[in-house]
Chain A
Amino acid sequence: MAQTTTSEHNHDAHAGHGHHEHGFSHPMPIWMLLSVFFALLFLTGLTVFQAQFDLGNAEIWASLTIATIKAALVILFFMHLLWDKPLNAIVILGSLIFVALFLGFTLMDAEGYRENLIYNSTIEASQPVVVPVDPITGAAVPAVAAP
């Protein structure tokens, strides 16, 4: 009986010794957590600032680039993928590749529908709005839906 308690004590002491190196755990230094956080805040400010300018088609790419940098910071540091087992990195990168395939294949023929689009930013407001014809009834779709 006395032996058992000693063994438990030994075990605790062993765990206590591991404290110096934290075993397999990797505590993030506080300065790193804080600098990642402030970098994320800065990038949020940057994306809000960037949104003030009308960049046309470049706008979506600018905001997506900033969002991706932010997402990379979150994944690499907050989710500590940098120090993680490579298998976990492969798993999550695999999912991102499949998302890219999914979106890419879906949007591949999106340009093919271009001519069917309603896009009349150049039409004056006073003119009647050119609207598509309803395929079933043949009547013009009303410009403003009734409330």
Chain B
Amino acid sequence: MTAIQENLAHVVDDHADHHHEHPSWLAHHFDDAEQQYDSGKLGMWLFLVTEVLFFSGMFCAYALYRNRNPEVFEFCSSFLNEKLGAINTGVLLFSSLTMAWAVRAAQLRQHQLLVGMLGATLGCAAIFLGVKAVEYSHKMEIGLLPGKLYVAQLDGAHGPHKGYLEFICTVPAIVTALCAFYAIYAFATKSLFHQRVAGPMLVAGLCFFGGVGLGQYLEAQEEASKGHGGHAAGHEHHAMVDGHVDHGSHEHAAAPESVHAAETKTAAEIAASAATAMGGTPNVYVSPTELKTPNADVNQRSMAGLFFSIYYCMTGVHAIHIIGGMIVITWLIVKAAREEFHEQYFGPVDNVGLYWHLVDFIWIYLFPLLYLIT
């Protein structure tokens, strides 16, 4: 009798203010779902404040150094591949879209869509890192290294160091292989949960190598146009005067002396092929926008080397944030595959989303500040 009364009281109480019947997703120290959500969100915003201030230190170094040595930034920015930077910006913006959509899916209990959106975000992050790996390895190969490791460009005395890309790719390769084994296990056991987790992880692993392929293709394209223009600039004066980055610029370059147009082109080609035949490094760089061969004052360790210190520091810390984001998104995929989220409990998706958008936010500033300096 008393037990039933107690139960009834319980029901009434529960309806009154949800105080005693705590569902599994509501931590016991919170009154209700909204309080839990708001507290978590405020905590996340406070964390983002520390992140903004942390990055602002590096932006401060950037601002001071650029203010003092604008010519260094002009010179060094020409080594950064604008196309790869723009593509990475697009990839990150798309991942922000899928992340925001994932929050919506979590709120609307669209569990399948949620896993898909989180998987797309994870895949975009992997593509971003793949492209970044190509950029880094390419710079390391031609000696664009931070601080005193910087090798002065133009002199061409350095031999090309190969194998950085393979080195960078080992860890992602191992992770992808593990994901592949996990996916095989998931499909062998026919466990829907494991399939939902392993699928996006394997796709993300493969996306990294897709990004590497994309980066290599675009870098080779850029290299071909630049290397061609560079050699022409080194050996032929009027090709140098107006050598644009694009392929079809030779005719255009020689247009004022149209009589010599064909001659110029062949001479440049012969020079280029001779340099390759002699085993000359195709990495010798002459900025196509430079009229002269100066840059001697900035092309040294204390100048350009410092730029690349800032470059590696800022983009490297940003990349570490991407990796951290990928780890928490994987955790979200596990929770989403268990269908844990609903309109009362989507805080984790929302908060990871906030973090992810902040990483995107930082890149929105990094891209024009590093890549787009003229």
Give Cα A64–Cα B46 distance, bound, in whole angstroms: 25
CB nearest to A116 among chain B residues: B68
CB pair A147–B143 under 8 Å, yes or no, is yes
Shortest CB distance B52–A (Å): 5
CB pair B21–A8 under 8 Å, yes or no, is yes
CB pair B11–A99 under 8 Å, yes or no, is no
CB nearest to B56 among chain A residues: A99
Residues of B within 8 A of A18 (CB): 343-344
Q: Is A82's beta carbon under 8 Å from chain B?
A: no
The residue from B23, B49, B157, B294 contacting A95, defined by CB atoms under 8 A apart: B49
Residues of B within 8 A of A139 (CB): none
Give Cα A8–Cα B362 distance, bound, in whole angstroms: 45
CB pair A19–B343 under 8 Å, yes or no, is yes
Residues 331-374 of chain B, each 1 if its beta carbon lies under 8 Å from chain A, else 0: 00000000000111010000001100110110011011100111
Residues 1-30 of chain A, each 1 if its beta carbon lies under 8 Å from chain B, else 0: 001101110110011001100111111101
CB pair B300–A125 under 8 Å, yes or no, is no
A7-B344 in contact given A27-B104, A63-B369, A129-B297 (Cβ < 8 Å): no
Shortest CB distance B155–A (Å): 6
Q: Is B217's beta carbon under 8 Å from chain A?
A: no
Give Cα A37–Cα B353 distance, bound, in whole angstroms: 15
A70-B21 in contact given A7-B7, A7-B11, A120-B297 (Cβ < 8 Å): no
Residues of A within 8 A of B367 (CB): 44, 47, 67
Q: Is B174's beta carbon under 8 Å from chain A?
A: no
Instruction: Give the interface centre of A24, A37, A92, A145 by most chain B CB atoms within 10 Å.
Output: A145
Give Cα A84–Cα B46 distance, bound, in whole angstroms: 14
**Per DSSP, are chain A's interface residues mostly helix, strand or loop, or mixed?**
helix
CB pair A144–B365 under 8 Å, yes or no, is no
The residue from B15, B94, B143, B368 contacting A51, defined by CB atoms under 8 A apart: B368
Q: Is B45's beta carbon under 8 Å from chain A?
A: yes
Shortest CB distance B144–A (Å): 12
Q: Is B16's beta carbon under 8 Å from chain A?
A: no
The residue from B52, B69, B151, B299 contacting A96, defined by CB atoms under 8 A apart: B52
A125-B293 in contact given A15-B344, A28-B103, A30-B104 (Cβ < 8 Å): yes
The residue from B96, B143, B152 contacting A144, defined by CB atoms under 8 A apart: B152
Q: Is A118's beta carbon under 8 Å from chain B?
A: yes
Give Cα A113–Cα B46 distance, bound, in whole angstroms: 37
CB pair B14–A11 under 8 Å, yes or no, is yes
Residues 30-56 of chain B, each 1 if its beta carbon lies under 8 Å from chain A, else 0: 000110011001100110110011001
Shortest CB distance A75–B (Å): 7
Residues of A within 8 A of B10 (CB): 3-4, 7
The residue from B56, B86, B107, B358 contacting A25, defined by CB atoms under 8 A apart: B107
Interface-located stretch among B58-66, B161-169, B248-256, B263-271: B58-66
Give Cα A39–Cα B366 distance, bound, in whole angstroms: 19
Q: Is A133's beta carbon under 8 Å from chain B?
A: no
The residue from B45, B99, B299, B374 contacting A54, defined by CB atoms under 8 A apart: B374
Shortest CB distance B62–A (Å): 10
Q: Is A136's beta carbon under 8 Å from chain B?
A: no
CB pair A44–B90 under 8 Å, yes or no, is yes
Q: Is B97's beta carbon under 8 Å from chain A?
A: yes
CB nearest to A56 among chain B residues: B374
Interface residues in chain A, defined as those with a beta carbon under 8 Å from any beta carbon in chain B: 3-4, 6-8, 10-11, 14-15, 18-19, 22-28, 30, 33-34, 36-37, 40-41, 44, 47-48, 50-55, 59-60, 63-64, 66-67, 70-71, 74-75, 77-79, 84-85, 87-88, 91-92, 94-96, 98-99, 102-103, 106-107, 110, 113, 117-121, 123-125, 129, 131, 141-147
- 10 new A-B contacts, CB < 8 A, other than A15-B343, A22-B108, A95-B53, are A8-B21, A10-B15, A24-B34, A41-B93, A64-B368, A67-B367, A74-B364, A98-B53, A113-B68, A118-B69
